[in-house]
Each structure stands twice: as structure tokens, then as C-alpha cells.
Amino acid sequence: MTISSSLAAGVAGLNANAARLATISDNIANSSTYGYKRVVTDFHAQVIAGNNSSYSAGGVRTTTMRLIDERGPLISTGNATDLAVSGRGLLPVTTSVAVATDNGNLPLQLMTTGSFRPDSNGILTNEQGLVLLGWPANIDGSMPSYPRDTIAGLEPVQVNVNQFAGDATTEMNLGVNLPATETEAGASGATQDLSIEYYGNLGTSQQLDISFTPTVPATGSSNEWTMTITDSASAGAVVGEYTLTFDDARGSGGTLQSVATTTGGAYDTATGTIEITVDGGPITIDIGMLGDSEGMTQLSDSFAPVSINKNGSPVGNLTGVEVDSNGFVHAIYDAGFTRRIYQIPLVDVPNPNGLIAMSNQTYQVSPPSGSYFLWDAGDGPVGEVSGYSREESATDVAAELTQLIQTQRAYSSNAKVIQTVDEMLQETTNIKR
């Protein structure tokens, strides 16, 4: 019984080391595979119950585990939609076959890195036919609220390279200095005019004409101006009229003291803004807070539009996309503006090593992995999304070759045990002769 158990243990040792050799071979073969997670083989002793007078060898068994939570180094690439995860979390993908079927059922697969490029329909797909999934943004670039425990809100990230878009003006910053001498008694009372271009909802160029008319007193200084705003898209209609009063006290001289509204949106003292409604909708104009020297001022004897800023741009043609660290996909247009079009969440599970490994470095959720949750990149336990990057294989070739030598020696030793048992059994047979 003892000799036969030794033979069985030797055979078990051969099988165990053969299994370890298989995982080492797989790891070395994929040492240049992007996103590959190495597999380790663990040995476990088997014990056969016996008594004190005899011992039976139980042998050994093996288990394997793919270390999905082990990260390979990131390398830079020249493609903006080469993506990798810096830290915990996985990218949600599905198959191009499921997208083409279009039956509303997109099977979720996960991966840590991928090289995605637009296909003939503008859908970001990698060379294995895996499609990147994301949440679509609203037209204005804001993100609606999506459920985090289901993929119902995810859809293929689609970038139409022939897409045109306009960026309407919604905000302006008005930094203007008005001449203090024009509000003194005996001044000419000349109106100061300013024209600012803005862009409508259809990308067309429009114009706000702003006039500043001083209040000239009989004596002293009024430090008061009437600001009138007209809109070219509204046939020159007045869309806002305000009375601006400036402070002349030491320390705060020249800054806004008060803003009175005649027509248009009320002045917000907390933000220093007014809101006017042009033909295409509201525009918020920042004229500065009360007492703020960086807003509108009244100093000296010169009229100086020192800082005029606005958002918006004319219609532009899409030239490319980029993904930032928070997983937001930005469309870039040749008119000089960008627009958020998708958000790529990162998927996390309690036990990443419990995921089911599939071909092409993809994984599926399983009972051992636990239920998934969709996180914003850079939030909670997950890392960030890294564009222009790929994750290299997690295989350490030097360590695998060292284990290969150890496995070879262990395999030879087990073979020697079998050879020894065979010789002992031969000797037992020779006794009968």
C-alpha cells in the first residue's frame, strides 16, 4: 500500500508540475500581449488518513488563479482613444455582433485596456471587434443621472467624423473702464459705444451693441452711467438697460457701488452678473461684483474695453475626440471649441480575481466576483482613465523563467520517484524468482 501510494503521489506530482508548466507557458507566450493578466498555479497537499504504524502518500493537487487585480505598466501611444485604467476598475465593452443585431441586448464584457478607433459607422471599436460603451451626454454637454447597478443606460460610443456643430454664446465677461471725467459738471456727456460679437444657436454671427451714457450733473460729479444693450438678432431691440453708479471713496474709488435695473434681468450681487434674453435665448453677462476692481470701473479720463471674453464659436467640423482622466469623451472641432459627448464609467466588483476570463483579455461577472457597480472614473475605489495609453502585460519574464527552472527540476524529481518505485517493485518481483 505504501509503495503504491508513493507511485500515485509521483504521478500526481507530474500532473501538478505539468499544470504549472502550462500556466508558465501561457504567461511567457503573452508577455507582449496588451492587458494580459498572468495566471499562477498553487499546489495543495492531499492527506490520506492512516495509523501510526503506516503512512500513505496523499500526493498533491493544483488550483489556478488569474490575477486580474494585478496591473501591468502603462505606455504612451499616439492614438487618443487608446485607453487604459490607471488603478482599480475596468472598461465596459460589448461585441460588435451584438451592436449590429440591435435587439436591445448588449452583453457586458470588461477589459483593462483597449485600442479603439471609429469603424465605418463611427462606433469606437478595437481590432477584436469589441465596442466601447458609455453614457451619452445631453446636447449642452451636461450629464444626466444614470443608474449605477445596471448597464441599461450604456450605449456604444459613436463619433461621426462628418458631424458639424455650433457652440452658442451663453456667457460673457465685460471688463470696461469708463472715464470718470465724463460724469463731472460741464462734461460733454458723449455716449461711449461698444459692439460685441456673439454666436446664435445656429452658429451664425450676431452682435450686441452696448452704449454707456453718462449722467452730467449741474455741479460736482454724478459717477453714474446708463448702460443700454441692444440685440442685432432682435432687430436692434433693447434687451437690457441698467443704471451703473460708481464709488468715489478712498480705497474703493472707481468700483461699482450699485446697479439698478430698468429693463432686462436683475443684477445678481452674489455673482456680479446680469442676464439678458437675446433672440436665441439667455446670455449671462459678468460686469463684476460691487467693490470689485476686476469688473467694470470708472477711472481717469479714458474709455477702455480692457477685458471682453465670451464663450461660443461658429459652426465647426469634427476633427477628433479625446478622453480625459474622468472618462469624459470630448469632441474637438476645427472652430476651436470642444463638446462633451459621452462619459465612460469604470466597472468595479468586490473580487476582481473572481471574474470569468475570456479571450482577448476580456472578463465577465460571475458569482465569485460579486455584483458590479458603475463608478465615475477617479471617484470611489476606482482609478482614472488614461488616454493615449495602453497597459502592457503583467508578465515578468525573468520571474517566469525562474519558475520554469524550478518546475522542470520538480518534474524530474517526481519522475525519479516513479522510477525508484518501479525499481523497488522489480526487486519485489525478483524475490519470487
Q: Tell me if the domain spanning 169-311 has CATH number 2.60.98.20.
A: yes
Q: Are strands 237-246 and 205-214 parallel, antiparallel or unpaired?
A: unpaired
Grid cell 461698444 — which residue? 194
Here the cell at position 173 is 465677461
As a whole number of angstroms, the distance between CA 290 and CA 254 comes to 11
pLDDT, tens digit, for every residue of 376-386? 999 999 999 99
- DSSP single-letter state for residue 180: G
> In terms of residues, how long is the chain?
433
Here the cell at position 403 is 519558475
CB burial readout 129-159, b (16+ within 10 A) else e = ebbbbbbbbeeeeeeeeeeeeebebbbbbbb
As a whole number of angstroms, the distance between CA 155 and CA 151 comes to 8
172 pLDDT more than 80: yes
Burial class (CB in 10 A: 0-12, 13-18, 19+), 281: exposed
Q: Which residues contact 412 (CB under 8 A, 6 or more apart)?
A: none
pTM of the model: 0.74
Q: Which residues contact 299 (CB under 8 A, 6 or more apart)?
A: 177, 180, 253, 254
Task: With residue 92 as reference, give the H or E element that holds it.
Answer: strand 91-95
* pLDDT for position 162: 55
pLDDT, tens digit, for every residue of 265-310? 999 999 999 999 999 999 999 999 999 988 899 999 999 999 999 9
Amino acid occupying residue 406: Q
As a whole number of angstroms, the distance between CA 286 and CA 172 comes to 6
pLDDT, tens digit, for every residue of 112-140? 999 999 999 999 999 999 999 999 999 87
Going by C-alpha positions, the residue among 306, 313, 290 that lies closest to residue 244 is 290
Q: Within the chain, what is the greatest distance between any pair of CA atoms?
A: 142
pLDDT, tens digit, for every residue of 174-230? 999 999 999 999 999 999 999 999 999 888 899 999 999 999 999 999 999 999 999
Amino acid occupying residue 285: I
As a whole number of angstroms, the distance between CA 55 and CA 8 comes to 13
Grid cell 462619459 — which residue? 343
163 pLDDT more than 70: no
Domain spans of the chain, in order of start: 2-67+394-432, 77-157+346-391, 169-311
- As a three-state string, the secondary structure of 200-217 is CCCCCEEEEEEEEEECCC
Task: With residue 25 as reference, give the H or E element that holds it.
Answer: helix 2-29
pLDDT, tens digit, for every residue of 30-55? 999 999 999 999 999 988 876 667 77
